[in-house]
């Protein structure tokens, strides 16, 4: 597995990140241990969790498993969602974040968090308050880098301008949902992230398992596990995308998941977050680093999975094209 820089920072991370949301879902610790070991043996050093995953148990297990080599790995966690019954047990407020970071440090068994992320935009807390708190955490050494998750374009841009104006450490990452099935972030959110040089940590890169190829047309999602209901509302475009993913998987002698992840890996500054509940489920995801899609294959996947474009994104000047009845200004025509 190759290494890359996270956003504009000097932090080196593996080209895949291991998500640990399922750690702690059962009392079995052997499966998480084998998953972490397999990921590290493949060259992975980047792990993602959150304070609310499995009621905090995910952080505890991850911290225990990486304790022997803590300084060799990069740990990312998140805060915002409800971590208790009280009115101040959630949000991106100073009070909640200061309490949440201490709890995450304790559960992870570490004195610093490599990447601390706001799990979602908080409309009830001034963004200046949130960013000032993150700056204080960086200054204290408890947090090394900061990022956001599930922000849209204008929220990213506003955060970046506040940090620029106040002289704060800048965001280094965005964690959005992104896959061949969920590409809507390409309209506004992804351009905002790239304009501000954020690394993109793609969650649900297999679209809740759909791109692993375990579903077929006509299947009912109600009997397909934790996210099975996801498939009940999929469009024909999604099924055509899966057909092509399966075709390419056969061509490469690999699993559909490896093709879907290879497409994501080919996107600039994108690190897919992979996950598994059993060690063998990790094999197809790890195999993706051996697949290098050709330009033609990426173009075919781009075309078949392209999301429907509506206003204002289909309007000529937004897309960079002049209206149909106007010629392009001379300075845009090029040589």
DSSP state of 207: T
- Cβ proximity of 122 and 91 under 8 Å: yes
Three-class SS state of 331:
helix
What is the pLDDT at residue 334? 44
* pLDDT (average), residues 243-264: 98
Residue 93's alpha-carbon distances to 76, 132, 152, 156, 288, in angstroms, are: 20, 10, 19, 17, 39
Residue 226's alpha-carbon distances to 27, 91, 122, in angstroms, are: 18, 26, 27
Q: How far apart are the C-alpha atoms of 156 and 137, rounded to whole Å?
A: 20
Q: How far apart are the C-alpha atoms of 295 and 291, rounded to whole Å?
A: 13
DSSP state of 145: E
Token pair recorded at residue 248: 């390419």
* pLDDT (average), residues 97-124: 97
Query: Is a pLDDT exceeding 70 seen at residue 324?
Result: no
CB within 8 Å of 47: residues ≥ 6 apart? 17, 18, 19, 20, 36, 62, 66, 73, 74, 75, 76
Query: Is a pLDDT exceeding 80 seen at residue 303?
Result: yes
pLDDT interval class at 86 (50, 70, 90): confident
- Could you tell me which of 88, 24, 76 has the C-alpha nearest to residue 50? 76
- Cβ proximity of 230 and 207 under 8 Å: yes
Looking at every residue in the chain, the average pLDDT score rounds to 91
Q: Which residue has the tokens 């897309």?
A: 319
What domains sit in the chain, N to C, each tagged with a CATH number?
3-208+256-292 (3.20.20.100)
Q: What is the pLDDT of residues 205-223, one digit of tens each?
A: 999 999 999 888 877 655 5
CB within 8 Å of 101: residues ≥ 6 apart? 79, 113, 116, 137, 142, 143
pLDDT interval class at 89 (50, 70, 90): confident
Three-class SS state of 169:
coil
Report whether the peptide linkage leading into residue 207 is cis, meaning its omega lies within 30 degrees of zero. Answer: no
* pLDDT (average), residues 287-307: 97
Task: Look at 6-10, 124-128, 277-281, 296-300 and tell me which has the smallest mean pLDDT.
Answer: 277-281
CB atoms within 10 A of CB 33: 15
Share of the chain above pLDDT 70, in %: 90
CB-side neighbour CA atoms (13 Å) of 271? 29
What is the pLDDT at residue 333? 45
Query: Is a pLDDT exceeding 80 seen at residue 230?
Result: no
Catalytic residues: 53
What is the pLDDT at residue 335? 40
What would the DSSP string read from start to end of 40-56?
HHTT--EEE--TTGGGG
Query: Is a pLDDT exceeding 70 seen at residue 36?
Result: yes
Please give the helix or strand (H or E) that residue 220 lies within, else none. Answer: none
pLDDT interval class at 319 (50, 70, 90): low
């Amino acid at each position: 597995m190759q290494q890359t820089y996270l956003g504009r920072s000097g932090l080196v991370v593996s080209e895949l990140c291991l998500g640990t949301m399922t750690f702690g879902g059962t009392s079995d610790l052997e499966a998480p241990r084998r998953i972490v070991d397999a990921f590290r043996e493949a060259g992975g050093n980047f792990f993602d969790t959150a304070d609310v995953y499995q009621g905090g148990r995910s952080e505890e297990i991850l911290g225990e498993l990486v304790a022997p080599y803590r300084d060799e790995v990069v740990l990312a966690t998140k805060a915002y969602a409800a971590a208790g019954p009280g009115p101040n047990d959630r949000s991106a407020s100073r009070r909640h974040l200061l309490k949440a970071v201490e709890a995450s440090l304790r559960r992870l068994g570490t004195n610093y968090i490599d990447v601390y992320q706001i799990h979602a935009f908080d409309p009830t807390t001034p963004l200046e308050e949130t960013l000032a708190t993150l700056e204080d955490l960086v200054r204290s050494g408890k947090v090394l880098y900061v990022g956001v998750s599930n922000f849209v374009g204008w929220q990213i841009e506003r955060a970046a301008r506040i940090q620029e104006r106040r002289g704060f450490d800048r965001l280094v990452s965005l964690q959005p949902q992104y896959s061949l099935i969920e590409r809507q972030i390409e309209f506004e959110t992804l351009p905002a992230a790239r304009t501000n040089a954020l690394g993109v940590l793609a969650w649900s890169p297999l679209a809740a398992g759909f791109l692993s190829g375990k579903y077929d047309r006509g299947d009912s999602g109600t009997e397909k596990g934790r996210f099975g209901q996801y498939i009940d509302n999929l469009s024909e475009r999604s099924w055509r995308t899966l057909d092509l993913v399966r075709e390419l998987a056969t061509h490469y002698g690999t699993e559909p998941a490896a093709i879907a992840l290879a497409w994501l890996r080919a996107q600039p500054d994108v690190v897919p977050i992979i996950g598994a509940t059993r060690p063998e489920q990790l094999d197809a995801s790890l195999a993706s680093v051996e697949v290098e899609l050709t330009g033609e294959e990426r173009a075919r996947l781009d075309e078949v999975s392209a999301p429907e474009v509506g206003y204002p994104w289909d309007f000529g000047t937004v897309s960079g094209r002049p209206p149909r009845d106007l010629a392009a200004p001379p300075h845009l025509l090029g040589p």
